[in-house]
Amino acid sequence: MEHKERKPLLFRGELALAIAVVINSLSVVLMLYSGAGISAISGVPYAFSQVFSFFSLGTWTYIFQAALILSLMVLRRRIVINYLFSFAVGFVFSQFLDLHELWINQLPDGLGWRIVYFVISYLLICVGIALSNRCKLPIIPTDLFPRELAKISNIRYPKIKISFDAICLIVTAGMTFLFLGYVKGIGIGTVMAAFTMGKVIGIIGDFLDRHFVFDIYHHGPGPRKVHRFS
């Protein structure tokens, strides 16, 4: 008896983006609270927030995202409208960061809890980025940058992601050591995530591609066509 191939389920891009913004903003703050260090991509704005504390982590994150978008447009040698829309998503993400910082200290403390927080935050960041890469909508600039750079350079995404995270890690360490006299915000979790997260995101992305197709709402006459992420 032949088994019919299971048809992939439709995953709305709008829902994917909303989930990604919520869980990634939570995960950044939760990873920092775990004591294992902040995620590599948030390390640079975190370092600025510690050295130049007149702006919050959320505000410095938005400034960092703006620099990434500008870099992409320089590489493209043109203004890309979709990149500009990602500013709005980045602003919402930054606001969620500041919101989560207000309540995160209410969570239970202790070594066991901190290990749990790190594992949860690591996995949620990977899931959130994998969803962002497939939502077909403007996404958080820190997620957009490695995805678009992979397209521009024709280098596989996992390699770009790992390199990007490693550079962010080095900048964070160098900046905090230079201005504070010691390295702050980087722990064993930060290093581990920087050199493994790209691969894990790729694995989760392959799983999503096998089970879902991603599409956004299309207004207007005519049939709606669903495309796979490529």
Average pLDDT, the chain: 87
Say what the pLDDT of residue 71 is. 94
Q: CA 118, 120, 126, 130: dihedral to nearest 10 degrees?
A: -160
Which pTM does this prediction carry? 0.77
Q: What is the mean pLDDT of residues 2-11?
A: 74
Q: What is the mean pLDDT of residues 16-23?
A: 94
Percent of the chain with pLDDT over 90: 50
DSSP-based three-state secondary structure for 12: strand
Specify the higher pLDDT residue, 70 or 219: 70
How far, in Å, CA of 140 to CA of 131, rounded? 11
Say what the pLDDT of residue 175 is. 93
Q: CA 38, 111, 98, 96: dihedral to nearest 10 degrees?
A: 90
Q: Which helix (DSSP H) or strand (DSSP E) does residue 213 occupy?
A: strand 212-215
Bridge partners of 194, per DSSP, are none
Lookup result for tokens 């390390």: 43
Is the pLDDT at 226 greater than 50? The verdict is: no
Q: What is the mean pLDDT of residues 116-141?
A: 91
Instruction: Kindly report, residue by residue over 150-168, the tens digit of the pLDDT.
Output: 999 999 988 898 899 889 9
Percent of the chain with pLDDT over 70: 92
Say what the pLDDT of residue 230 is. 34
Count CB neighbours of 212 within 10 A: 18
* Tokens linked to 176: 């905090």
Instruction: Kindly report, residue by residue over 192-224, the tens digit of the pLDDT.
Output: 887 888 889 989 999 999 999 998 876 555 444
**C-alpha triplet 154, 197, 50: angle, nearest 5°:** 105
Q: Count CA atoms within 13 Å of residue 11 on its CB side.
A: 22
Tallying the residues shown for the chain, one arrives at 230
* Tokens linked to 83: 């990149």
* Tokens linked to 102: 């207000």
How far, in Å, CA of 115 to CA of 188, rounded? 12
